[in-house]
Amino acid sequence: MSELTLKPAQRTVSVAAIALALVLVDQFTKWLALENLEPGRIVPVVGDLLAWRLTFNDSAGFSLGFGVTWFFTLLSTAAFLILILRAHKVHNTLWLILAGVIGGGIVGNLVDRLTREPGFANGQVVDFIQIPFNFPIFNFADICISVGMTLVAWRIMSGDKLG
């Protein structure tokens, strides 16, 4: 993957810009879900492969850790701050993009935890994408985190150095 010619500050701004764009997409899709779906009602989209089903999640990914939303709020905040504070050290285009994608996913769900009911730092994350196989219902931010982290793991296992 190509080396970056950006200055360190430009790298940080680039990661933040990618993250912001994805947060906007995430929040828009959640707004659409809230405006158009009834909680719990399944709306088939592609046969049995994809459906919309509005739910509210107060746990982490894959419904782990119910009742400790405040912990995930703190963890998400710390993860994003570390990502942004280290973004200036990224020297490769792919890593810069992955940092922005993962950051966008983190912040997309963090916005929900900070702003939605039942209250600040304990808000429930809006989930609405359902696939078969008893897979947890998820959202666009979850896709960003999952795809980004999968690609990070793949690149590291392929011998790439992080950053």
Tens digits of residue pLDDT in 9-21? 999 999 999 999 9
Measured between alpha carbons, how far is 109 from 76 in angstroms, rounded to an integer? 8
**Domains in the chain: boundaries:** 8-37+61-123+140-156
Catalytic-role residue among 26, 58, 112, 127: 127
Q: What are phi and psi of 53, to 5 degrees?
A: -155, 105
Does the annotation count 127 as an active-site position?
yes
Q: What is the model's pLDDT at position 61? A: 66
58 in catalytic set: no
pLDDT higher than 80, residue 34: yes
Stronger pLDDT, 53 or 2, i.e. the higher one: 53
